[in-house]
Structure 1
Amino acid sequence: MAIYTKGGDKGETSLFDGTRVPKDSLRVETYGTFDELNANISLADKFCESKRNKKLLQEIEYKMFFLQGEIATEKRQYFTDKSKIITDEDTRKLEKVIDEYTSKLPPVHSFILPGSSTAGAQLHICRTICRRAERLFVRLSKNVKFRPELERYINRLSDFLYIVARDEDYEDLLNSVTDDVLKIYKRYQEEKDVR
């Protein structure tokens, strides 16, 4: 089966509910940017050292399909009748991780460089894409009514990506310090054995 339909050859695409819109419409730009974010989250989870962070990001990747689907539907009831939706419980899960990680990580009193580890750097890319997607969503919301639950989730998502980036950077730092200490200890033992 071919992956192309030729339906978009004249600059239009179909939304989830079948409505045809121009490919450069703000709605398409918005859910397309969240799609870009999801691909980058997938890349970030491959770089993560923490198994928990990998799992958290994979859960977000799954939720992103519901988020994009709702944005990509003009007739909201059509989407909610056929799919799962983002709820305030999803936002509370993000907040729980944000609060937990904030309490365990060293406090930040100034701007930080965007990622000292590969995972951290990629997660900061995700954070900036998320903010861009949110700006598009806000612009779209001026003419299209969305559920407030969706707005809250989108706003919290960039905070979540920021704190997971910080956690990955912190874990990378701890692993680096541990490796350095082990090298020093090994060198000490070797010198001791020579004596």
Structure 2
Amino acid sequence: MVVLSKIYTRTGDAGQTALGNGVRVAKHDARVQAYGTVDEANSTIGLARLHATGEMDEALKRIQNDLFDLGADLCRPDMAKDHEAGYVPLRIIASQVTRLESEIDAMNTKLEPLRSFILPGGSPLAAHLHLCRTVSRRAERLAVELAGVEDVNPEAVKYLNRLSDWFFVAGRIANDDGRADILWVPGASR
């Protein structure tokens, strides 16, 4: 359980922050960039949820919770050391990735195959879901970059990869099951 009795601590005033293991790093550290962008993606979902109802809103709520798990995962390096010490930190697991895949497959059954790329937009919900898609894709790029130099849970990277796909398909669902998608017309404004 997290208890926040005081919001500001002044410990970051010199440009550093603490990771989940207590190690202090620069606020522009690659790990902080990755989990900070996951937090940004979560905030964009909050905007999308202003326009979502029913199953879509419930799915977005689950994803928001997953993204807190993902942030906790990314902010805790030294996976091997944790297990040696007997501490099991919160990590994204394969079933969370599989759930996204199942949801993508279920949504995709309602859609006609694409014959062109689509432009982000359409309904307010679709436009917000496309923003969620692009921010989560940036979070994925940052997590992959981090994984190139430090330990990162591979399931966390997989989750981010599936998540941007989830938002793409959900955006089409929000556009009247793809019927209101705005298609890209190559060279249309030449």
Same fold (TM over 0.5): yes
Q: Is the 8 A contact 1:115 1:166 kept in 2?
A: no
Q: 1:88 to 1:135 in 2, by over 3 A?
A: same
Displacement after TM superposition at 1:78 (Å): 4.2
1:33 alignment partner in structure 2 = 37
Matches within 5 A, 1:138-149: 138-149=144-155
1:104 partner SS? coil
Where does structure 1 lack aligned partners over 5 or more consecutive residues? 175-195
Matches within 5 A, 1:68-79: 68-76=71-79, 78=82
Could you list the structure 1 runs, at least 4 aligned residues long, displaced by more than 3 angstroms after superposition. Answer: 77-84, 171-174
Q: Deviations over 1:67-108 (max 9, x none)?
A: 111111123364994554311111111111111111111221
TM-score, structure 2 normalization: 0.84
Q: 1:173 to 1:47 in 2, by over 3 A?
A: farther
The structure with the largest alpha-carbon Rg is: 1
Letter in 2 for 1:135: R
Q: Is the 8 A contact 2:41 2:135 kept in 1?
A: yes
Task: Tell me how large the CA RMSD over aligned residues is.
Answer: 2.0
Displacement after TM superposition at 1:122 (Å): 0.3
1:53 alignment partner in structure 2 = 56
Q: Is the 8 A contact 1:17 1:78 kept in 2?
A: no
Query: How many residues get paired?
Result: 173
- The alignment-based identity, stated in percent, is 38
Letter in 2 for 1:27: R
Distance 2:31 2:149 in 1: 10
Q: Is the 8 A contact 1:117 1:172 kept in 2?
A: no
Displacement after TM superposition at 1:172 (Å): 9.5
Q: 1:81 to 1:60 in 2, by over 3 A?
A: farther
1:143 partner SS? coil
Where does structure 2 lack aligned partners over 5 or more consecutive residues? 181-190
Displacement after TM superposition at 1:29 (Å): 0.8
1:5 alignment partner in structure 2 = 9
TM-score, structure 1 normalization: 0.82
In terms of fraction of residues, the more helix-rich structure is 1
